[in-house]
Amino acid sequence: MSRILSVGKAVPPYQLSQEASQKLVYELFRDRFPQIDRLMRIFPNSEIRTRHFCVPAEWFLRDHSFAEKNEQYLAEACRLGAEAIQRCLQKCALSPEAIDCLIFVSSTGIATPSIDARILNLLGMREDVTRIPLWGLGCAAGAMGLARANDYAKAHPERLVLLLAVELCGLTFVKRDISKSNFVATSLFADGAAAVLIAGERYARLHPAFADAPAIVGSVSTTWRDSLDVMGWDVTDDGLRVIFSRDIPALVKQRMGQTVEQALARHQLTLRQISRFLPHPGGAKVIAAYRETLGLPAESTRDAEEVLAEYGNMSSATVLYVLERSLARHWASGEYGLLTALGPGFSSEVVILQAGGERG
């Protein structure tokens, strides 16, 4: 089994409290939403305290072209991604030259050459690094990136894989979009980056310091039919306009219980054997829906709730922040964890983790 060696994260410099966000959004939309006062309740109900953005608050008061937003995405994604990678590698005293495979996930900007190629040059990685850029997986991409990193590491057990997730959700804001989805997004989404270092089994065995690192037991992907309109983007002249269904918490309640049970059964496990739960905190209602459908106690999703409160929803990077927070607390030998995320498709990814990596 491949092993998770470290997680590094990075947030941009502009921090905005939820109270300040609420005032900003009220100024932007008060003349365009007839029921603005009722809609503003989503801000105090979000359970978010602060968020970070790569642009100052006044940026949101002006119109910006898609080209302008994407140019800023290119610069900021490279800067933030490089910072997350450096922090991740520093924890293991490794240099960028040690990386054999770089997986990059993002859905909030477009780049060709892709961001991973640009970062390869910025950090001086080897020219023979395998690059795997993945686009369009949305909030599920952090979990899916871990799963694909595990697949690569199983095929190449002597290698090191680096997963990088960078999302600049703030740059996708369209000032002229007066949809309910856009209004909800202003209370929820934020910017951030995270990097995870994964070692193949043979690499970990040859380096005793990593021999007991948490293992990825396996993963299961699910894409539900006829659900394309639940989450995603409409590509317009103004940029990426958000599609965000109010039915997501209901879909979690209806489908995730069976999905999780089936995923665990593939690995001869049951929900009772899982003691760590790491859901992507898509929002307070989504976290609550996970607890309800899986029958979890309130304290089981503490890490996800704390990440949501401190950072908001950073799309694919968010669940990796939950992972970093969970790994910072001691896992008992053999303890199982379940990392999950949902994204466009409508889809889910379930990743099974185990401390020490020995099946028992």
Average pLDDT (254-282) is 92
One-letter amino acid at 209 equals A
pLDDT of residue 345: 86
pLDDT of residue 358: 53
CATH topology of domain 212-354: Peroxisomal Thiolase; Chain A, domain 1 (3.40.47)
Residues 6+ apart with CB under 8 A from 357: 1, 3, 212, 213, 214, 215, 217
pLDDT tens-digit map of 303-334: 999 999 999 999 999 999 999 999 999 888 89
CB atoms within 10 A of CB 79: 16
> Does residue 357 register a pLDDT over 70?
no
Q: Which of 294, 226, 283, 218 is nearest to 254 (CA)?
A: 294
Sheet of 191-199, strand order: 130-135, 101-106, 160-168, 191-199, 3-10, 215-223, 347-354, 336-343, 274-279
Every domain of the chain and the residues it spans: 3-208, 212-354
- Asked if the domains at 3-208 and 212-354 fall in one CATH topology, the answer is yes
> Does residue 33 register a pLDDT over 60?
yes
Average pLDDT (231-255) is 83
Residues with active-site annotation: 139
219 falls in which pLDDT band (50, 70, 90)? very high
Estimate to the nearest angstrom the gap between the alpha carbon of 308 and the chain centroid. Answer: 11
CATH class of the domain comprising 3-208: alpha beta
360 falls in which pLDDT band (50, 70, 90)? very low
Dihedral pair phi/psi, residue 223, rounded to 5°? -125, 115
Residues 6+ apart with CB under 8 A from 49: 17, 18, 309, 310
CA distances from 282 to 214, 279, 309, 314 (A): 25, 8, 11, 9
Average pLDDT (8-14) is 97
CA distance 109 to 168: 8
pLDDT tens-digit map of 38-79: 889 889 999 999 999 999 999 999 999 999 999 999 999 999
